Structure 1
Amino acid sequence: MATIDQLDAAERCETLLQDTLDAVRPALVWEPAAPRAGARLPLPGQDPDLHWYVTRGRDVRTVVSAARRAVLVDVVERHWRRRGWTITSLNAGRDRPGVTAVTSDCYRLVLRFGELGEVGLTAGSPGVLRSERLPSPPQAAGRAPVPLPDVCCPHWSAMF
């Protein structure tokens, strides 16, 4: 049974995202991604209660070259493992690598690369109680598509 609400879950997502970004050096330039919140319908034969969720994310604006993508995934994967989180998926492919983890309190974290080099980091809550007031997300740009990276960095944007 869920014991925290959407407001607390959104706060936890924000903390997880910031913790992950703080582990990356040199630091990445990012902006808040469009937040999501909603309900998860019960699965047949399982918990009959309706549970709510929130998802928060970061769109990375730093250009991460194809040569550095696996390095970024490795930095994040090692950080999550040090935290004791379970890595549930790892794609070390050069073009679109990514990693997914689950925390001990069942939050799901995902670092993924898109087709055009865009990088997204998301944190999603487990089932939680509905809040009377929806969580206030950081100011997202209000656009649907993920922005293409446009900030160069001597380290992350390097071609070798």
Structure 2
Amino acid sequence: MDMQGAADRSDAILDEVLWEIRPELRWTHGPTTVGICDLTRRRVVMTDVSVTRRGNLLGVVDRFWRKSGYRMTAVNNDAVFPAIYARTQDGFSVSLRIGGKGQAFFQVDTPCVRESEVADSTSQATAPLYEGMEFIPRPNIHSDFWSAETPEVDATSGR
């Protein structure tokens, strides 16, 4: 596999997990960085995810990655900046980290592959793109679900 193939695989990994999350999160592309034989693709969530709903997001992603055959490699249970890390069966490292103001960051780091040119992602962002992707603002899109300050009510138990 060359770097472009690895970038395409990374985009597919990111597309799959973001498609799984409902209600939808709005996201933009973060910068792609290229190393000597690897690269990193990033997606920055622009939906404001409240402290109350961060566990919901991490749980959805954790369950999806496990169902997809990924091996969980680390969990950071920090109350303010939680994160989960996993590895795909073909050696890609994936992570979901929660940063300041509830901004979620998805990242895929590729294994070492053959050097090649790498094109920009063709995945369609669901939030505005930011020139150069260096100055992406804090999350600024409200979601009735993800931004809510109250815990989710379980309709089956009334809690």
State the TM-score, normalized to the length of structure 2.
0.85
Question: Is the counterpart of residue 100 in structure 1 residue 90 in structure 2?
Answer: no
Q: Per-residue deviation at 1:146?
A: 4.3
Tell me which residue corresponds to 1:125: 110
SS of the residue aligned with 1:152? Answer: coil
Letter in 1 for 2:143: C
The count of corresponding residues between Structure 1 and Structure 2 is 143
Q: Per-residue deviation at 1:70?
A: 1.2
Tell me which residue corresponds to 1:155: 145
Tell me which residue corresponds to 1:25: 22
**Superposition pairs for residues 26-105 of structure 1, below 5 Å?**
26-39=23-36, 52-105=37-90
Greater share of helix residues, 1 or 2?
2
Q: Deviations over 1:64-106 (max 9, x none)?
A: 0000011101100000000010001112333111111000000
CA distance in 2, matches of 1:57, 1:119: 11
Residue segments in structure 2 that go unaligned for 5+ positions in a row: 123-128, 151-159
**Superposition pairs for residues 101-116 of structure 1, below 5 Å?**
101-116=86-101
- The 1:100/1:146 distance shift into structure 2, 3 A limit, reads farther
Q: Identify the range of structure 1 (91-100 vs 81-90) with the bigger mean alpha-carbon deviation.
A: 91-100
Percent of aligned pairs sharing the same letter? 32
Runs of 4+ in 1 over 4 A off after TM superposition: none
Tell me which residue corresponds to 2:153: none
Give the conservation status (yes or no) of the 8 Å contact 1:118–1:147. no
Letter in 2 for 1:148: R
CA distance in 2, matches of 1:117, 1:66: 7
Question: Is the counterpart of residue 12 in structure 1 residue 9 in structure 2?
Answer: yes
Letter in 1 for 2:119: S
SS of the residue aligned with 1:101? Answer: strand
Of 95, 104, 120, the residue aligned with 1:137 is: 120
State the TM-score, normalized to the length of structure 1.
0.85
Tell me which residue corresponds to 2:154: none
CA distance in 1, matches of 2:8, 2:134: 23
